[in-house]
């Protein structure tokens, strides 16, 4: 029966649609459609429990295969994006302003923002989206730097004053790392879920075996930067606080592991819990 309607962020409606078609559109274009309805009167957020239960109502094997295919498709798009000039990538003229570049960036990047995925999406799919979003962010940063240099070159006698140390924080690719400037050091709040637990295990050097954690963010924090960190393990309902310092920066060719590593000060009991819980969260879901 054709009884589903979808609405995007601008309020444009699509429908009526068969349930299977609506589900395919939501899955294939994460972030494009934000509301769904069955009567065009009562609308629910696409990420609501009711709508997500419809989207995820499939056999575990089928979902695993689908998400693997989606991850491969996303990484294929990443390879294609790497070959494009910035103005082609963001769909603007080569001589466009920074504002137009940013508009094009946002329109494209929102499709790949990891936060748009279902909360229980596979880590493989999350990492693929994160890699694309990170690449787009890096290209946009290069555009901003290039256009800023062009402006400064026309006025060499009056360069803009440098901001005082600590006055501005970097632009973070990993939004779940809620970073703020405290009175004496940076403070970060990180929610540990099945989608984010890879920060404890993914890097070959900066992982819990060395009491470290690796955040895939651009630009990375400088070596030696001191941090106060709070880790919220949502499923275990446990919070662990720690101090640390940036001990590793990565800006190499591995798009999924660019960022910075923090060496933590952990009590033995806290470290043991974090090892066990991150291993459990990273394990494949039981079928």
pLDDT band at 183 (very low <50, low <70, confident <90, very high): low
Phi then psi for 147, rounded to 5 degrees? -70, -35
pLDDT band at 38 (very low <50, low <70, confident <90, very high): confident
pLDDT number for residue 168: 47
pLDDT digits (tens, 9 = 90+) for 40-90: 888 888 888 778 776 666 666 777 888 888 889 889 888 889 888 999 999
Task: Please give the CATH topology (third level) of the domain spanning 177-282.
Answer: Thrombin, subunit H (2.40.10)
pLDDT band at 171 (very low <50, low <70, confident <90, very high): low
Percent of the chain with pLDDT over 90: 8
pLDDT number for residue 241: 93
pLDDT digits (tens, 9 = 90+) for 83-116: 889 999 999 898 888 888 988 888 888 888 777 7
pLDDT band at 159 (very low <50, low <70, confident <90, very high): very low
Q: Kindly state the average pLDDT of the residues 251-263.
A: 66
Ranges of each domain in the chain: 2-55, 60-154, 177-282
């Amino acid at each position: 029966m054709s009884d589903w309607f979808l609405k995007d962020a601008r309020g444009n409606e699509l429908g009526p649609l068969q349930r299977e078609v609506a589900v395919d559109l939501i899955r294939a274009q994460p972030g494009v459609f934000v509301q769904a309805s069955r009567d065009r009167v009562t609308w629910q957020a696409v990420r609501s429990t009711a709508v997500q239960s419809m989207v995820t109502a499939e056999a575990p094997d089928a979902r695993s295969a689908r998400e693997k295919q989606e991850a491969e498709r996303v990484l294929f798009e990443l390879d294609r994006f790497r070959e494009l000039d910035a103005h082609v990538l963001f769909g603007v003229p080569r001589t466009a302003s920074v504002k137009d570049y940013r508009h094009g960036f946002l329109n494209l990047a929102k499709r790949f923002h990891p936060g748009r995925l279902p909360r229980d999406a596979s880590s493989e799919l999350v990492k693929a989206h994160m890699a694309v979003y990170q690449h787009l962010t890096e290209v946009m940063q290069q555009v901003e730097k290039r256009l800023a240099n062009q402006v400064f070159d026309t006025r060499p006698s009056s360069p803009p004053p440098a901001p005082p140390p600590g006055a501005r924080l970097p632009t973070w690719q990993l939004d779940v790392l809620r970073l703020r400037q405290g009175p004496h050091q940076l403070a970060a709040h990180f929610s540990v879920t099945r989608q984010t637990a890879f920060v404890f295990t993914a890097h070959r050097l900066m992982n819990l075996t060395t009491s470290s954690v690796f955040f895939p963010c651009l630009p990375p924090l400088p070596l030696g930067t001191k941090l106060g960190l709070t880790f919220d393990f949502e499923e275990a309902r446990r919070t662990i606080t720690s101090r640390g310092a940036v001990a590793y920066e990565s800006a190499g060719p591995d798009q999924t592991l660019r960022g910075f590593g923090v060496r933590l000060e952990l009590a033995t009991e806290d470290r043991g819990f974090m090892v066990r819980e991150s291993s459990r969260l990273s394990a494949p879901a039981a079928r």
